[in-house]
Amino acid sequence: MYILIEGEYYDTEDLQKVFEDLSFYSVHGSRGKIKSVGYYHSFEKNSLALMLPKVFMKDGENTIFGISPKDLFMSQNESVKQKTEYSWIRQLSMYFYNSLKEFRNRFPESLLINYSDTFELRGKSPALEYSYLDILLSIVNFYKKNSSVISFNHIQSVSGNVKKARWERTIMKNTPVVTGNGTFFYPEVINLSKTLNVEEELIIYFLSIVKHLTREHSLHIHIEKYFPLITGHKFRALQRNGLSKLRKIKYRYFSDLFKNMYRLCEMYFSLYDRADIKKRRQDFLVTGSYNIIFEDMIDKLFSEDIKEVSGYDGITLNDLKRNDDGKRIDHIFDYRSLIDTSDIFYIGDSKYYQSDRTANALSRYKQFTYAKNIIQYNINLLHDNASYSSNMRYRDPLTEGYNITPNFFIYGFIDGADNYSLNELVPLGEPYEAKHFEHRLFDRDTLFVHQYKINFLFVLKSYTSFSGVNIRDFRKDVKEMFRKHFVNYFNSQAGHGYSFYRLVRNEGYSELLTNHFRLLNGKSYINLENEMLVAKHHSDNSLNDLLTAEGFEEFVLK
């Protein structure tokens, strides 16, 4: 299996060994640049390739695997393809390929995914659609799951065949095999009488396919040498006439294990059916817009269930992503405010970069605009006596202060080729700040965009493997993670530079605000608990006397 990286350059001569045409790379002199992300297989060239997204690159030169793109591509060579450090390829292939199919299933009308005729219906049901990689992964997964059962079946068959064992000849002519628990047994026992093992022929076909696939695509699968496997030119002949051989033994098998094994062999040999192979020179599932797929992968994990806006029939959370100015928000969800028990929108933007890149000035500007659009949307609802929910509160009418709107960038990164378990949000660098007035935290123009990175492999696996319960649990956890990081930032002395004070009164806020409006404008906010909050910047001494005189107490956000 060839591994290529989106946007990287390779020798055209090497790319011509993989692809049948220029649809998947552009030529620049003697080199070609990969312009697609996805899966590709050529029947004519006997090549199988994964074009991975650019998140697998770091520092502009090396892959996250610690080698250059060219060396990763050349890992198909005999000299290195058996090295254990490349054993991650099979698992990555499965999750990556399934993520492309998941996007296609979620958005069947989308034109972002291109696919060959192999993926079109060739039968009455979508269940009959199989690509080469579908079949390869199914065979390998079946073998890894059932290899011990196949071994046990063989041992049982050998034991059943022994009537009068001739142990002296067995020991002299055969080599014992060590089992997983350290014991020895002879796979072939010389005896006077044998009974026929009806499963053996099918197992030989199946294991011969597994051996061929693991050799062709560097899958690092160990196959016990219990059976005389078919290899070389005999296997090539089996590829051509395997279907006819299977039909002769079709009705021998009754257990689910062997019926499934038969079906996998049938699927594999169908790839080489002479009546069909001429129609299928290549099959592929690729996209030139993987950033949109990455966005959907993140959104599936983060986004709430769609719900309507109170007072506005038919308006949903998904509609809020489409701003009136034509801009589209990647991610939005409502969760507990940083300063009280009300809800606020958290607004995020997925950044599809290499593993060590961060957002530029244009991206930061766009994200601030997204937040301002959402704030304005909620103010418009307020003017019309409506709200997204009864607990959603953006502006305090008495202080005219605005709740803090959490913003974030989220980047994919990879921390090891086989690390799919790391699921935390990792803060990255310092937040970006936008402001119109100094020291006014509760002003609508004071905005912060925090930066986080998330394990791309975790997202990749979750996109296709998580159940609804898993996703709901993760959403709950990740929302609390976001809020915790924002709160910790504002509570830190070295970060934002603010301290928080509160005052609790049953009445008298109006008089206080009237007398000190210019001093408190943009620095105060009355929350749902009827506490008057003041955010004081460390370099702002204008509030010192007022806070002392009115009896404000300092506190930290929780």
Mean pLDDT computed over 241-267: 88
Give the pLDDT confidence score for residue 545 in this predicted structure.
93
Tokens of 193: 């009488």
Give the lowest-confidence range in 111-115, 321-325, 500-504, 541-545: 321-325
Short-list 104, 105, 131, CA closest to 119:
131
Mean pLDDT of 60-79: 77
Indicate if the pLDDT at residue 211 is higher than 50. Answer: yes
Which pLDDT band holds residue 387 (cuts at 50, 70, 90)? low
Supply φ then ψ for residue 222, to 5 degrees: -90, 130
Return the pLDDT at 493: 63
Q: Assess whether pLDDT exceeds 50 at residue 361.
A: yes
Q: Tell me phi and psi for residue 539, to 5 degrees.
A: -95, 5
Mean pLDDT of 515-534: 92
- Please compute the mean of the pLDDT values over residues 108-122 and round it to a whole number: 67
Task: Please tell me which residue, 227 or 39, carries the higher pLDDT value.
Answer: 39
Least confident of 97-106, 196-205, 370-379, 535-544: 196-205
At residue 378, what is the residue type?
N
Helix axes 200-217, 256-270, angle to 10 degrees: 50
Please count the helices (runs of H) and the strands (runs of E) in the chain. Answer: 16, 26
Residue 471 is inside which H or E element, if any?
helix 468-491
Higher per-residue pLDDT: 389 or 528: 528
Four-residue CA torsion sign, 416, 462, 322, 312: negative
Q: How confident is the model at residue 128 (pLDDT cuts 50, 70, 90)?
A: very low
Mean pLDDT, the chain, rounded, equals 81
Task: Give the C-alpha separation, 189 to 84, whole Å.
Answer: 35
Which position has the higher pLDDT, 311 or 441?
441
Confidence of residue 404 (pLDDT cuts 50, 70, 90): very high
Q: Name the range with the highest mean pLDDT among 75-84, 307-316, 397-406.
A: 397-406
Q: Which letter, b or e, does each residue of 122-138 get, where b requires 16 or more Cβ atoms within 10 Å of its Cβ?
A: eeeeeeeebbbbbbbbb
Instruction: Report the percentage of the chain scoring pLDDT > 90.
Output: 28
Q: Tens digit of pLDDT for each residue in 272-328? A: 876 555 556 788 889 999 999 999 999 888 876 554 444 444 556 677 787 777 778
pLDDT of residue 169: 67
105-131: average pLDDT: 63
- pLDDT band at 339, cuts 50/70/90? very high
Residue 126 pLDDT > 80: no
Q: What pLDDT is stored for residue 122 in this prediction? A: 40
pLDDT digits (tens, 9 = 90+) for 44-56: 888 889 999 999 9
- What share of the chain has pLDDT > 70, as a percent? 81
Report pLDDT digits (tens) over 448-483: 999 999 999 999 999 988 777 888 888 888 899 899
**pLDDT digit string, tens, across residues 477-489:** 889 989 998 998 8
- Does residue 254 register a pLDDT over 80? no
CA separation (Å) from 140 to 38, 213, 221, 254, 472? 20, 8, 8, 22, 31
Rounded distance between C-alpha atoms, residue 279 and residue 331, angstroms: 42
Give the per-residue pLDDT at 183: 67
Torsion-angle region of 58 (φ positive above 0: left; ψ -120 to 50: alpha; else: beta): beta
Q: What is the mean pLDDT of residues 11-38?
A: 93
Helix axes 89-106, 132-161, angle to 10 degrees: 130
Give residue-wise pLDDT tens across range 84-112.
555 677 678 888 888 888 898 888 888 88
Give the model's pLDDT for residue 15: 95
Query: Look-up: residue for tokens 């399934």?
Result: 98
Average pLDDT in the 357-377 region? Answer: 85
